[in-house]
Structure 1
Amino acid sequence: MNAKTELIGRLLGSFSGGDAITEETLADLLKGYTITRESDETRSDLHRRIKYYLGAKKIDGLSERTLKNYKANLESFAAKVEKSAAKITTDDIRGYIAYLDETRHLKETSLQTHINTLRAFFGWLHTEEKIKKNPMSKIKSLKLDKKGARQALSVEELERLRDACKGYREKALVEFLVSTGCRLSEVAQLRAADLDLVGRTVKVTGKGDKDRVVYFSVRTRLMLQEYFVARKGGDGLFCSSKSPYEPLKPRAIQRLIRAVSERAGLDKRVHPHLLRHTFATHALNSGMDVTVIQRLLGHEDVATTQIYAELNDETVKHQYTKYVAAN
């Protein structure tokens, strides 16, 4: 029996007699025990652990954007689960995931992102011997429909999206995304002055702070030129329509694309990453070499590019006829 259990038993025994507990009686009961109040810092050291973890990951070379996302997800968890890292259980994790699903109504992809973040965090704590048992060891990943989530827009759907655009800002944004294959974060950080309109090129900074040159279509250049003439101010590639004309943040760009897709009446949920996938799929189906697409998308591994760009049967038949059957 530990001291805490023993003391509780003695206190309960004294209270059960029905007599009032005097200060002297209580002092006698507590004789031989040293009682200290557990501080908030001791009860929940998660914020400190998170700080150390992010510091370690920064040294490992993670980008500022990735670190920012990790911090937001982990601090959300710490605010909901007020325990020290060593006392967090698998049930605490499951309860938090249920909260994200049932109360915050996060989509499965977002839920999986939170799960991945927690798995990396608690795995690090366990490796660093800050916790004896990893509460994420029994938490499984969600079974996501990755292929369905990346179903590229067809040529007809893309035209419907273009037709639904209102104004040159929306037209230029859709064209730029679908003709460059850029990531949302890459587009959000660009400035109008970064573009070479004559050569139709722009240098973007991708994952791992790696720079690469991407290209855009003639149609994109025309839409951009019209947009630059029509807008009232701002130096971002895509800016707010209201003063002080700040560059559009990623969420604002997402909202614009979603609004256009809703007006187009498309069945699927359209977002900037889907336009990136559409670029890769259409480029491959048109015969572009997969290694060229890999470079344009900024992928380190060609296998990642092949996930985005799915070969359909017609393309396989065309390539076979062109390179094999005729010989």
Structure 2
Amino acid sequence: MDAKQELVGQLAALMPGMVEEIARIVGDYRISRELSRERCGLERKVSAFLAARKIDGLSPKTLKNYREMLSAFAAKVEKPVTRIDTDDIRGYIAYLAQERGLKDSSIQTHINTLRSFFSWLDQEDAIRKNPMRKIKSLKLDKFQARRPLTPEELERLRDGCRSYKEKALVEFLVSSGCRLSEVAGIRADQIDWRERSVEVLGKGGKRRVVYFSVRASLMLRAYIEQRKGGEALFASSKAPYEPMSPRAIERAVETVGVRAGERRRIHPHLLRHTFATNALHGGMDLTVIQHLLGHSDPKTTMIYAELRPDAVKYAYERVIA
């Protein structure tokens, strides 16, 4: 029995005596049965994509972000992966903007994730046509998104700190240039107080030595002396004083930013960016900055060397005027 006959039979059972009428109505339609494996195909493809990216060496945090965004997409679209078209993608982007109220930068992250996912499906010959080909990236103000803190903003951020813990966290981040994950992994007994340095574990399991300022050293000592316990450099305030998670550090920095009256979100990577920009404008060699940041590719460090009007003026007055 084909799908059409099965449907007629099921409807006739619900409406006895109307078999001929039902058969006439569905006669001109092409009816196929959607298999359960097709309905869950998108979720399975997402799992396969994440597994492939894990083999490629993506970090657990990136994989987690991919999983959350693609799961949200699958829950909203609810279509077999082979039937998703460009209109579905556009509808989802509109949903992110209008119903979820996401900022353009966050929407662009979703677009980038979907582009990566569907490009992988295309390469794997899992789809006939890539629905992301006609989806353009949003026009973002990249400079504003990456703009480091000005000296005035940094001072306001310092004024927004209420405890030695917050002061130590802000000063260490902005003077060391450490990544969030690196800061979360430091133990207090690893600190070389004389050299104001510490060895951190960076991306790819690579270790390097970073340094921190005199101000950071003073704030760290004051914080460690007054806290109740903990082996981590930045530990939880409550017993058993476990190391602060990366997310907890993020929240702490963001809270200070809100308290300081900053309109944009203040996060650890912004302080890392501020460190690099200040180092560059202060005359530090780009290769040294690359080492301190733990960049394996100098092109990544070159992001901080982009010419801005104030940077051009600074360089001119320093050398010529």
| Residue among 229, 234, 237 paired with 1:238 | 234
Give how far 1:294 is off. 1.4
Aligned to 1:20: 17
Q: Distance in 2 between matches of 1:163 and 1:117?
A: 38
Q: Distance in 1 between matches of 2:71 and 2:185?
A: 25
Aligned to 1:291: 287
Question: Does 2:314 align with 1:315?
Answer: yes
Question: Does 2:200 align with 1:204?
Answer: yes
Aligned to 2:93: 97
Which moves more between the two structures, 264-273 or 111-120?
A: 264-273
Q: Distance in 1 between matches of 2:106 and 2:187?
A: 29
Give how far 1:169 is off. 0.5
Q: Which amino acid aligns with 2:129?
A: K
Question: Does 2:281 align with 1:282?
Answer: no
Give how far 1:177 is off. 0.7
Q: Distance in 2 between matches of 1:220 and 1:153?
A: 17
Aligned to 1:221: 217
Q: SS at the partner of 2:108?
A: helix
Give how far 1:309 is off. 4.4
Q: SS at the partner of 1:212?
A: strand
CA contact (8 A) 2:280 2:304 kept: no
CA contact (8 A) 1:62 1:208 kept: no
Aligned to 2:257: 261
Give how far 1:244 is off. 3.4
Give how far 1:172 is off. 0.4
CA contact (8 A) 1:63 1:209 kept: no
- Spell out, residue by residue over 1:176-222, the C-alpha distance to the aligned partner (whole angstroms, 9 max, x if none): 11001122232233333333333322222333443322111122122
User: Which structure 2 residues correspond to residues 23-62 of structure 1 after superposition, within 5 A?
Assistant: 38-62=34-58
Structure 1 gaps, min length 5: none
TM-score by length of 1: 0.83
User: Which structure 2 residues correspond to residues 184-195 of structure 1 after superposition, within 5 A?
Assistant: 184-195=180-191
| Residue among 194, 218, 243 paired with 1:247 | 243
Q: SS at the partner of 2:195?
A: coil
Which moves more between the two structures, 146-155 or 244-253?
A: 244-253
Q: Distance in 1 between matches of 2:136 and 2:73?
A: 18
- Spell out, residue by residue over 1:215-271, the C-alpha distance to the aligned partner (whole angstroms, 9 max, x if none): 111221221121112122233322222333332233322222222223323454422
Question: Does 2:65 align with 1:65?
Answer: no
Which moves more between the two structures, 183-192 or 150-159?
A: 183-192
Q: Distance in 2 between matches of 1:93 and 1:25?
A: 39
Question: Does 2:86 align with 1:85?
Answer: no
Aligned to 1:76: 72
CA contact (8 A) 1:108 1:144 kept: yes
CA contact (8 A) 1:178 1:278 kept: yes
| Residue among 77, 83, 104 paired with 1:108 | 104
Q: Distance in 1 between matches of 2:122 and 2:236?
A: 45
Which moves more between the two structures, 193-202 or 153-162?
A: 193-202
Give how far 1:43 is off. 1.3
Q: SS at the partner of 2:222?
A: helix
Aligned to 1:179: 175
CA contact (8 A) 1:233 1:245 kept: yes
Aligned to 1:157: 153
Structure 2 gaps, min length 5: none
Q: SS at the partner of 1:106?
A: coil
CA contact (8 A) 1:239 1:247 kept: yes
TM-score by length of 2: 0.84
Q: Distance in 1 between matches of 2:313 and 2:213?
A: 25
Q: Which amino acid aligns with 1:70?
A: Y
Give how far 1:319 is off. 4.8
Question: Does 2:300 align with 1:301?
Answer: no
Give how far 1:121 is off. 0.9
Q: Which runs of 4+ in 1 moved over 6 A?
A: 24-27
Q: Which amino acid aligns with 2:258?
A: E
Give how far 1:116 is off. 0.9
User: Closer, same or farther in 2 for the Cα pair 1:149/1:47, shift >3 Å?
Assistant: same
User: Closer, same or farther in 2 for the Cα pair 1:86/1:273, shift >3 Å?
Assistant: same
Count of residue pairs brought into register by the alignment: 310
Q: CA RMSD in A?
A: 3.2
| Residue among 101, 114, 119 paired with 1:118 | 114
Q: SS at the partner of 1:92?
A: helix
Which moves more between the two structures, 233-242 or 111-120?
A: 233-242
